[in-house]
């Protein structure tokens, strides 16, 4: 809401020294935040109101004239670009920019010779003064305008406009009067609502009376109509147009401007119908099925049954509270209007305006609640102003239908309730004073209570807590002391703990955390395929980038890698931890989707090297990350099973693994491997990438306690073992073969080599080198014992037909 400080000063008795900044500060601390102050008219200086003394044609230019004028000092002769016939006669008032004056846009006036005549400055048009959009001649001011005064000050151009952020609970503050009430309370001064003008009252001509019927009082608790006749549409007076402009409202014609002006003054939206375009009586009702209406903007709109319409004998002529109709609009030829002042059901207005995308100053106020009790004043004020500015008269007494009487609300404020909520004591007498200042009267109710009467313009104040807030904001929130709450909670494990443990491990492993959007383009999920393709769709996405909730963290990481590659960062290690959203099966949509937490990592490019570039990342780099993250999550010995057996759409069939906790066939806790090259093509990443995904919910939340074991006291012996074996036999299978010997002193088996050089290794085979460690807990082993045990292990290995031991 834009509040003109000039206007505010008219309504509210502020001492001359009170500045717009100080008012803004006080309003902000009272809950009406002033977001900015626009200082208007600062670029227009030195322009004076001048009286025309004489006009004559320019001696050497037909289209120019010479105006003799005075602005409090000596007479001057100014060359004017308008023909003499368009200028006011002697005694008229014009805007004179003498040498030294500045105009909007930075133009500075001086003394110039124009076609042989010296001209001190110029006479200004509205466009040159920054007042209007069309430049039809120079500005002519009303003859009663004082001569010699500063124009900007005189017409209210010099103003400060406060942009007040009015919260949705305060419809009373959506007007200059409402803000004046607050400011008066804050400065402990008085304010007033301007009374209606004294204007001509005419009897209603025969046949011009119009009846109003409210068919649905829940849609419209009050509807007042007045008829003003004998009008002539014209431009509004300059000061009024300047004031509307300051408040961000475009001036149109006096008949429309008045409704806007009174709305800005009182907070009551008003609508003027062209009386001659109405037929029969007016009915306020809900729209009928299939009803349509052409709104002011010329669009023919289908209506719905909850919409509130104002209708005449032919049908809907306005959407109540939202917008007028094109067929009953006032125009330049309008001579009589029906002025509507009403209130409508806030929720219906909100639904209609939202559905049609028609948000107006009127709908903004109606959806927050317009005070039915203020209707009579607003209607009378606007009607009188219309009559005055349009040269017409009020015809008849007007109609006021008010089927649902609104009453002030009784709310009790207790001293105990006030002190308990505030945390400090405010005497009830002070509370009563503060409430009275904003129009809430109260009387003591016993020793420790106030019975308050909340006027209808404060629909937000309904319970004691609301009164507490009113009192507290007026005494100042800064009065409240600060103390720490008594008692203490019992900190429990954070539900994010496994996620944070995963984050710490991944960061320690050299990866950078990213945070990507929870919603992704549909194409990303389509690329993933399988069950990941179907995500929870956003029904009103902002753009195609945010269409559907992510079902996997992979596409977001790939996208992040692409962006970094595009910035010439070739070696990338990223991770993300967060929920993925899993849609329920079609027959189970009543349940919310599940949101399992996942941790995912992506490697692209080379492993961190030194001086000369080192090798490209491969499966074993991402496996290291998998191992360490799982260790941090309490899974010491995860089992990696080739994904080739249970193909995942995400991973390369030959270079991917499922991760199980504990033993093979144990709970699936994740997957790891090279990203499927076809998926990378679909996602547009032109480099190999390696991916890890851990299902944090499957890992479990509790950190497992560490049970320590003393280090071995006796030495170990090791034996190396080298053999050829079929390439299909995995290291885990080889390990299982050797462990099948069940040698109790065999304590560790480690792979040293897996080589597949075609020149040295027989076809279909690979060369393996293991080192086996033997140790007993209670004594030092003899060489003979170790040799014997090792021989049994080798024998067990050789039970596999494809093994050939090498010496």
Partner 1 sequence: MSSGEQAPNVAALIGDLDRLAGAFADEIGALATEQEIRLAQARYLGKKGRVSELMKALGRLPPEERPAVGEAANRAKASIEGAVATRLAALDEADLAADLARVVDVTLPARGAALGTLHPLTLVRREIEGIFLGLGFEVRTGPWVETEWNNFDALNTPPDHPARDMQDTFFVEGGRILRSHTSPVQIRTMLSEPPPIRIVAPGNVFRRDDDATHTPMFPQMEGLLVDKGVSFADLKGTLLYFVHRFFGPNLGVRLRPSYFPFTEPSAEVDAACYLCAGSGLSAGRSCRLCKGSGWIEIGGAGMVHPNVFRAVGYDPQAVSGFAFGMGLSRMAMLKFEVDDLRSFYEHDVRFLAQFR
Site for partner 1 in 446-475 (CB under 8 A): 463, 465-466, 468-469, 472-473
Binding of residue 357 to partner 1 (CB under 8 A): no
Q: Which is nearer to partner 1, 485 or 744 (CB)?
A: 485
Residues in the chain: 807
Contact status: 169 vs partner 1 (CB under 8 A): yes
Measured distance CA(729)–CA(298) in Å, rounded: 79
Question: In the numeric block, which tokens belong to residue 407?
Answer: 């009453």
Q: How many residues bind partner 1 (CB under 8 A)?
A: 94
> Rounded CA gap, 384 and 341, in Å?
13
Contact with partner 1 (CB under 8 A) among 10, 33, 400, 785: 33
Check: CB of residue 255 under 8 Å from CB of residue 330: yes
Number of CB atoms found within 10 A of residue 663's CB = 10
Nearer to partner 1, 380 or 627 (CB): 627
Interaction of residue 489 with partner 1, rule CB under 8 A:
yes
Alpha carbon distance 40, 42 (integer Å): 6
Which lies closer to partner 1 via its Cβ, residue 513 or residue 733? Answer: 513
Q: Which stretch binds partner 1 (CB under 8 A): 78-86, 95-103, 504-512, 520-528?
A: 504-512
> How far apart (Å, rounded) are the C-alpha atoms in residues 20 and 40?
12
Interface with partner 1 (CB under 8 A), residue from 75, 146, 190, 424: 424
SS3 520: strand
Residue 437 near partner 1 by CB under 8 A: no
**Least distance in angstroms from the C-beta of 549 to partner 1:** 7
* Cβ closest to partner 1, residue 209 vs residue 608: 608
- List binders of partner 1 among 524-553 (CB under 8 A): 536-543, 546, 549
Half-sphere exposure at residue 285, Cβ-oriented, CA atoms within 13 angstroms: 16
Find the binder of partner 1 among 91, 106, 298, 485 (CB under 8 A): 485
Q: Between 350 and 401, whose beta carbon lies closer to partner 1?
A: 350
DSSP strands (E only) in 32-158? 33-40, 48-58, 61-70, 76-80, 93-97, 102-103, 107-108, 111-114, 117-120, 122-123, 140-141
Question: Hey, which residues between 589 and 618 contact partner 1 (CB under 8 A)?
Answer: 589, 592-593, 595, 607-608, 610-611
Q: Does 481 bind partner 1 (CB under 8 A)?
A: yes
Sign of the four-CA dihedral 327, 332, 335, 340: positive
In angstroms, rounded to a whole number, what is the distance separating the alpha carbons of residues 150 and 337?
A: 37
Q: Measured from the CB atom, is 28 or 649 closer to partner 1? A: 28
**346 binds partner 1 per the rule CB under 8 A:** yes
Pairing of strands 689-695, 717-726: unpaired
Please identify, among the stretches 334-342, 437-445, 494-502, 671-679, the one whose residues bind partner 1 according to the rule CB under 8 A: 494-502
Nearest to 804 by CA among 689, 725, 746: 725
Q: Which is nearer to partner 1, 250 or 584 (CB)?
A: 584
Kindly state whether residue 34 participates in binding partner 1, applying the rule CB under 8 A: no
Burial 457-495 (b: 16+ CB within 10 A, else e): bbbbbeebebbbbbbbbbbeeeeeeeeeeeeeeeeeeee
Nearer to partner 1 (CB atom), residue 329 or residue 345: 345
Q: What is the smallest separation between the CB atom of 502 and partner 1, expressed in angstroms? A: 11
Nearer residue to partner 1 within complex by CB, 108 or 420: 420
| By CB under 8 A, residue 560 contacts partner 1 | yes
Residue 492 makes contact with partner 1 by CB under 8 A: yes
Tell me how far apart the alpha carbons of residues 624 and 800 are, in angstroms, rounded to a whole number. Answer: 30
Q: Is 22 in the site for partner 1 (CB under 8 A)?
A: no
In 3D space, the residue among 443, 438, 510 whose CA is nearest the CA of residue 474 turns out to be: 438
Out of 105, 106, 357, 491, the residue judged to bind partner 1 by CB under 8 A: 491
HSE-CB for 270 with a 13 A CA cutoff: 34
Interface residues for partner 1 in 240-279 (CB under 8 A)? none
Q: Binding to partner 1 by residue 30, rule CB under 8 A?
A: yes
Instruction: Tell me if 701 contacts partner 1 by CB under 8 A.
Output: no
User: Helix, strand or coil for residue 145?
Assistant: coil
Residue number with CB closer to partner 1 (41 or 578): 578
Q: Does 585 bind partner 1 (CB under 8 A)?
A: no
In this structure, the dihedral spanned by the alpha carbons of residues 608, 610, 614 and 617, taken in order and rounded to 10 degrees, is -10
Is 661 a binding residue for partner 1 by CB under 8 A? The answer is no
For the record, the structure tokens of 307 come out as: 């919409």
Residue from 62, 133, 188, 478 in contact with partner 1 (CB under 8 A): 478
Instruction: Please report, for residues 229, 253, 274, 341, the alpha-carbon distance to residue 336 in angstroms, rounded to integers and kept in the order given.
Output: 4, 14, 6, 16
> Minimum Å distance from CB 459 to partner 1?
11
């Amino acid at each position: 809401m834009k509040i003109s400080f000039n206007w505010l000063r008219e309504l509210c008795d502020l001492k001359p020294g009170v500045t717009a900044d100080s008012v803004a500060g006080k309003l902000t601390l009272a809950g009406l935040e002033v977001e900015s102050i626009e200082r208007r008219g600062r670029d227009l200086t030195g322009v004076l109101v001048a009286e025309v003394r004489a006009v004559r044609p320019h001696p050497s230019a037909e289209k120019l004239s010479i105006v003799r004028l005075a602005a409090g000092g000596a007479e001057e002769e100014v060359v004017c670009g308008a023909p003499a016939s368009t200028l006011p006669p002697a005694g008229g008032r014009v805007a004179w920019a003498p040498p030294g004056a500045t105009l909007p846009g930075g133009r500075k006036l001086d003394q110039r010779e124009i076609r042989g005549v010296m001209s001190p400055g110029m006479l200004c048009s509205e466009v040159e003064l920054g007042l209007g959009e069309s430049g039809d001649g120079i500005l002519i001011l009303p003859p009663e305008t004082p001569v010699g005064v500063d124009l900007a000050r005189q017409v209210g151009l010099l103003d400060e406009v406060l942009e007040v952020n009015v919260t949705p609970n305060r419809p009373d503050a959506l007007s200059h009067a409402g803000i004046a009430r607050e400011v008066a309370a804050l400065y402990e001064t008085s304010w007033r609502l301007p009374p209606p003008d004294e204007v001509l009252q005419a009897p209603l001509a025969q046949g011009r009376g119009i009846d109003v019927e409210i068919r649905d009082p829940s849609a419209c608790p009050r509807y007042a109509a007045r008829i003003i006749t004998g009008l002539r549409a014209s431009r509004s007076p300059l000061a009024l147009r300047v004031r509307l402009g300051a408040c961000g409202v475009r001036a149109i014609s006096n008949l429309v401007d008045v409704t806007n002006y009174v709305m800005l003054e009182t907070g009551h939206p008003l609508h003027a119908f062209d009386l001659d375009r109405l037929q029969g009586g007016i009915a306020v009702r809900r729209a009928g099925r299939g009803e349509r209406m052409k709104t002011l903007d010329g669009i023919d709109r289908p209506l719905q049954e909850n919409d509130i319409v104002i209708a005449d004998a032919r049908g809907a002529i306005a959407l109540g509270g939202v917008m007028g109709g094109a067929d009953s609009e006032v125009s330049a030829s309008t001579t009589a209007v029906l002025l509507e002042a009403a209130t409508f059901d806030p929720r219906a207005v909100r639904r209609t305006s939202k559905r049609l995308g028609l948000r107006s100053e009127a709908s903004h106020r109606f959806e927050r609640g317009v005070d039915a009790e203020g209707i009579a004043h607003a209607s009378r004020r606007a009607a009188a102003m219309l009559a005055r500015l349009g040269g017409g008269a009020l015809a008849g007494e007007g109609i006021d239908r008010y089927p649902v009487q609104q009453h002030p609300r009784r709310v009790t404020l207790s001293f105990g309730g006030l002190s308990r909520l505030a945390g400090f004591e405010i005497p009830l007498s002070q509370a009563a004073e503060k409430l009275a200042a904003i129009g809430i009267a109260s009387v003591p109710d016993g020793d420790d209570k106030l019975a308050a009467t909340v006027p209808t313009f404060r629909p937000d104040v309904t319970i004691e807590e609301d009164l507490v807030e009113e009192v507290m904001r007026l005494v100042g929130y800064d009065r409240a002391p600060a103390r720490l709450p008594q008692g203490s909670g019992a900190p429990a494990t954070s539900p994010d703990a496994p996620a944070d443990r995963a984050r710490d491990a991944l960061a320690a492993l050299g990866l950078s955390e990213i945070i990507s959007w929870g919603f992704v383009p549909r194409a990303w999920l389509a690329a993933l395929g399988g069950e990941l393709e179907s995500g929870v769709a956003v029904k009103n996405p902002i753009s195609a980038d945010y269409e559907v909730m992510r079902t996997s963290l992979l596409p977001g990481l790939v996208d992040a890698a692409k962006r970094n590659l595009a910035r010439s960062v070739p070696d990338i290690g990223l991770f993300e931890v967060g929920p993925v959203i899993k849609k329920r099966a079609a027959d189970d949509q009543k349940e919310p989707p599940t949101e399992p937490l996942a941790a995912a990592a992506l490697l692209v490019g080379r492993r961190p090297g030194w001086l000369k570039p080192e090798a490209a990342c491969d499966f074993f780099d991402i496996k290291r990350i998998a191992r360490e993250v799982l260790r941090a999550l309490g899974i010491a010995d995860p089992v990696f099973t080739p994904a080739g057996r249970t193909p995942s759409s995400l991973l390369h069939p030959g270079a991917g693994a499922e991760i199980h906790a504990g033993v093979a066939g144990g709970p699936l806790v994740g997957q790891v491997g090279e990203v499927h090259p076809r998926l990378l093509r679909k996602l547009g990443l032109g480099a190999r990438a390696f991916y890890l995904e851990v299902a944090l919910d499957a890992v479990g939340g509790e950190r497992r306690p560490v049970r320590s074991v003393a280090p071995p006291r006796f030495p170990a012996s090791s034996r190396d073992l080298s053999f050829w074996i079929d390439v299909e036999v995995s290291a885990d299978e080889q390990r299982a073969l050797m462990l099948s010997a069940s040698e109790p002193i065999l304590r560790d088996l480690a792979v040293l080599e897996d080589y597949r050089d075609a020149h040295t290794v027989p076809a279909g085979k690979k060369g393996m080198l293991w080192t086996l460690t033997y140790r007993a807990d209670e004594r030092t082993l003899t060489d003979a014992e170790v040799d014997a045990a090792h021989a049994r292990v080798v024998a067990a290995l050789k039970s596999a037909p494809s093994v050939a031991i090498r010496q």
